[in-house]
Amino acid sequence: MARHTSEHDHDPGTHEARIVVSRVIDAPAGDLFDLLTNPARHREFDGSGFVRSEDRSFRISRVGDVFTMNMEGAHMGGEYQTDNHVTAYEQNKMVGWKTAPAGTEPPGWEWLWELQAQGSGATEVTLTYDWGKVTDKELLKKVSFPLVSKDQLEQSLGLLAGAVAAS
């Protein structure tokens, strides 16, 4: 079963911008949460194609955790690393992080995964990509937000469904 919804907000005057996609996945919330909190598995459901592998990571267990990922993308000139600062964590319900170039503080974009059980065997997964808190004007000139499209986010949900089914 797949039900998709999406939303895309952008107001250049206030720098509020986000993309939100949702899908019902035939898997318990706990199984999905296990995948989302394991950075070693993130490449399996990365619809952007930027994630290469985890680096010095561990299972996400609380707000304040930081995990590092090996990435690749033309927007950063090739290979690079990110530090991901966990900003949301609720067992089997949500996990989120702000991403920053390794060794720097997050400049304002955030990923949030929310899980809403739909009975015992299905979960509505909502993925929000929010870059509305990016205030660095030089960064806003240099980086063309959104770096990840709505289609790529929807692909992430499809890949997540495949990854949990294969687990």
Per-domain boundaries in the chain: 4-166
User: Torsion angle of alpha carbons 68, 130, 151, 21, nearest 10°?
Assistant: 110
Provide the pLDDT for residue 78.
67
Q: What is the pLDDT of residues 85-116, one digit of tens each?
A: 999 999 999 999 999 888 999 989 999 999 99
Percent of the chain past pLDDT 70, that is, above it, reads: 86
41 or 72, which is more confident: 41
Label residues 128-152 b or e (16+ Cβ within 10 Å = b): bbbbbebeeeeebeebebbbbeeeb
| Mean pLDDT of the 123-133 span | 96
146 or 128, which is more confident: 128
Domain 4-166 has CATH 3.30.530.20: yes
Which amino acid belongs to residue 31? Answer: D
Confidence of residue 11 (pLDDT cuts 50, 70, 90): very low
Provide the pLDDT for residue 66.
95
Provide the pLDDT for residue 137.
82
Provide the pLDDT for residue 7.
46
Q: Is the pLDDT of residue 162 over 50?
A: yes
* Full strand arrangement of the beta sheet holding 123-130: 4-11, 16-25, 123-130, 110-117, 94-101, 78-90, 66-73, 51-55
- Residue 106, both tokens: 């997050």
Determine how β-strand 51-55 pairs with β-strand 16-25: unpaired
Residue 99 β-bridge partners? 84
Q: Is the pLDDT of residue 6 over 60?
A: no
Provide the pLDDT for residue 75.
65
DSSP per-residue string spanning 108-161: S-EEEEEEEE-SSS-EEEEEEEE-TT---HHHHHHS-S-SS-HHHHHHHHHHHH
- Identify the CA nearest to 89 among candidates 33, 45, 11: 33
Provide the pLDDT for residue 43.
87
Phi-psi region of 154 (alpha: psi -120 to 50; beta: other; left: phi over 0): alpha
- Residue 41, both tokens: 């598995």
Q: Is the pLDDT of residue 16 over 60?
A: no
Q: Is the pLDDT of residue 5 over 60?
A: no
